[in-house]
Amino acid sequence: MTLRERLRSISLRQRVTLLFVATGLLASITLSTASYLTARSYILQRRDEVVERQAFNNAQLIRSQIRSRRSEAFELISNVRTEQGGFAVLHLRPENLFFSQEIRYTQNAFPPELVDVALAGTTARQRFNIDGQPYVGVAVHIADIDAQYFEAFPLDDEQRTLTAIGSALIVGVVIVAVLAGLVGVAVGRRIMRPLERVSEAAGDIAEGGLDTRLDSEVDPDLARLVTSFNGMADAVQTRIEREARFASDVSHELRSPITALAAAVEVLDARRADLNDRTQQALDVVISQVRRFDQMVIDLLELSRLDVGVTDLHREPTELAPLVRRIAQRYGADGLLVEVESGSDGMASIDKRRFERIMANLVDNARIHGGGATRVVIGDTRDDAPDGDRPVVFVAVEDSGPGVTASERARIFERFTRGSAGRSRSGGTGLGLALVAEHVRAHGGRTWVEDSRTGGARFVVTFPKEDS
């Protein structure tokens, strides 16, 4: 995965936080580095001025004394007052002799470059380390006595000061990064809050709350977003309600002619004996199609009422198994096997009238497309809800038909959708499973289809165990 793909996989809130942290780190590191370098340059420069002045003073003292006491060079260099931890070396060119203040530190303790420069007749300064300890060495050429004076000054105090400054700056960088992260989280949360409200409002509209709108905002950019969203919601609500009213009006207006057709067909069917065989066959086709048309109009009217939300939901705790058996017997599925899984009490909070419509449509769907329902299974499971994991009761209607292919399962509960196996069979309106899905959704449950143990279809619906 590339860096760009990884960044795309990070949420907007996390990216805002990372941006603040990166900006804070970059700014604090840049400022801290500049501050450290400035402080280091200032401290070492001041130190160089001090050591040069002291080295020249000591060299001047050696110069004034060596004229009359050249043979006592070792004693003279030993009496030079150097800083604690420092040392000095005197070199007399004519004799080519080095006199060290301390036996531990000879001319070899100084950098060779510094010694060579001094011996060449130039005064110089150089920083170096002895056993990991920092020093600054000053070499002074004393021309009138043809000698070179070397003095080393420890930089321990300056090193400790710079270490303390660096540590403080590092702590400051960490603190700035943490504060930048906290600010980033706060800003990201503030930025995401309007988007979360838009997302929640869109979710409410998707769940049927067409009158959901966003509150007005003072910020001009957010106000434009709110205006656009509310305008879109108004347009969607108007369109959906207009289409729902149209479907309801059409379905309602079709009831009268269908009723007249059904009455006329019943009159013809009562005089079937007066008709020849071919006419009777045509009459049978007309009767079946009029009944199918009548059922489709009834289903459309019911869906229209569900769409506009005029159907109330009256739920009550109910034992499902006896109710399922009564519904199956009422709709011609006598002897249908109803099983309750062990560990389940088979209780759910349902609207009995809607539950009857659900089971009637599932049993009828199994009869038309699956050769009849073979078994109904009731059991407990858990369902992922927005407010957390909750216990639900599932009801599964199985058949031994051809089943539903995997490619058709996502759309099988849409209106006027029929599976490939159902298209070759007469009967059904293509609305029964859509009604099942709408009634189950009104209960707060889910609907899906899978394979049964016999290879047919297994339609599963869930219901809450308790009122919510």
Q: How far apart are CA 50 and CA 433, in angstroms?
A: 95
Is residue 465 within 8 Å of 348, Cβ to Cβ? yes
pLDDT band at 93, cuts 50/70/90? Answer: confident
Write 65-68 long-range contacts (CB < 8 A, 24+): 66/145, 66/147, 67/145
Q: Are 210 and 309 in contact, with CB atoms under 8 Å apart? A: no
The per-residue pLDDT for 334 is: 82
pLDDT tier at 383 (50, 70, 90 boundaries)?
Answer: confident
Q: Which CATH class is domain 3-160?
A: alpha beta
Q: Which of the following CATH numbers is that of domain 316-464: 3.40.50.720, 3.40.50.10860, 3.30.565.10, 2.40.50.140?
A: 3.30.565.10
Query: Which pLDDT band holds residue 377 (cuts at 50, 70, 90)?
Result: very high
Tokens read off for 227: 């205006």
* Helices 156-206 + 220-270 axis angle, to 10: 30
Give the chain's largest Cα–Cα span: 161
- Give the per-residue pLDDT at 378: 93
pLDDT band at 5 (very low <50, low <70, confident <90, very high): low
pLDDT over threshold 90, residue 387? no
Segment 178-185 long-range contacts (CB within 8 Å, at least 24 positions apart): 179/24, 180/20, 180/21, 180/23, 180/24, 180/25, 181/17, 181/20, 181/21, 181/24, 183/20, 183/24, 184/16, 184/17, 184/18, 184/19, 184/20, 184/21, 185/13, 185/17
- Which of 12-21, 26-35, 395-404 is predicted with the least confidence, judged by mean pLDDT? 12-21
- Contact of 432 with 360, CB cutoff 8 Å: no
Residue ranges of the chain assigned to CATH 3.30.450.20: 3-160
Give the DSSP letter of residue 408.
G
Average pLDDT over every residue of 10-23: 82
For residue range 281-290, list pLDDT tens digits in order.
888 888 877 7
d(C-alpha 217, C-alpha 225), whole Å: 9
Q: Is the pLDDT of residue 388 over 60?
A: no
pLDDT of 385 reads 56
**How confident is residue 148, by pLDDT bands cut at 50, 70 and 90?**
very high
**Global confidence as pTM:** 0.51
Q: What is the pLDDT of residue 10?
A: 72
Q: At what angle do helices 220-270 and 277-308 cross, to 10 degrees?
A: 150
Q: What is the pLDDT of residue 116?
A: 92
Q: Which residues contact 259 (CB under 8 A, 6 or more apart)?
A: none
- Of the two residues 384 and 165, the one the predictor is more confident about is 165
Q: How far apart, in whole angstroms, are the C-alpha atoms of residue 84 and residue 329?
A: 109
Q: What is the pLDDT of residue 461?
A: 93
Tell me the average pLDDT across 290-315.
68
Mean pLDDT on 178-193: 85
15-19, 165-169, 292-296, 449-453: which has the minimum mean pLDDT?
292-296
Per-residue model confidence as pLDDT tens digits over 29-86: 999 999 999 999 999 999 999 999 999 999 998 888 887 788 888 888 888 888 888 9
Distance of CA 362 to the CA centre of its chain: 39
CA angle 103, 107, 110 (to 5 degrees): 115
Residue 29's pLDDT is 92
Q: Please give the pLDDT value at position 198.
A: 83
What is the torsion angle, in degrees rounded to the nearest 10, for the CA atoms of residue 182, residue 186, residue 191 and residue 194?
Answer: 150
pLDDT classification of 302: cutoffs 50, 70, 90: low
> What are 319's strand-pairing partners?
347
Which pLDDT score, from 0 to 100, does residue 165 have?
Answer: 93
Mean pLDDT of 350-375: 87
Please tell me the predicted confidence (pLDDT) of residue 185.
Answer: 85
Is a pLDDT exceeding 80 seen at residue 262? Answer: no
- Give the mean pLDDT of 254-274: 77
Q: Please report, for residues 255, 299, 309, 460, the alpha-carbon distance to residue 211 in angstroms, rounded to integers and kept in the order given.
A: 30, 25, 12, 31
Where is pLDDT greater, at 201 or 11? 201
Highest-confidence range of 123-137, 330-344, 387-401, 417-431, by mean pLDDT?
123-137
CATH 3.30.565.10 in the chain is located at 316-464
> Residue 345 contacts by C-beta under 8 Å, 6 or more apart in sequence?
319, 380
Amino acid letter, 421:
A
Pairing assessment for the beta strands 447-451 and 457-464 based on DSSP bridges: antiparallel
**Backbone φ, ψ for residue 370 (5° rounding):** -125, 15
Question: Where does the pLDDT of residue 466 fall: very low under 50, low under 70, confident under 90, or very high at 90 and above?
Answer: confident
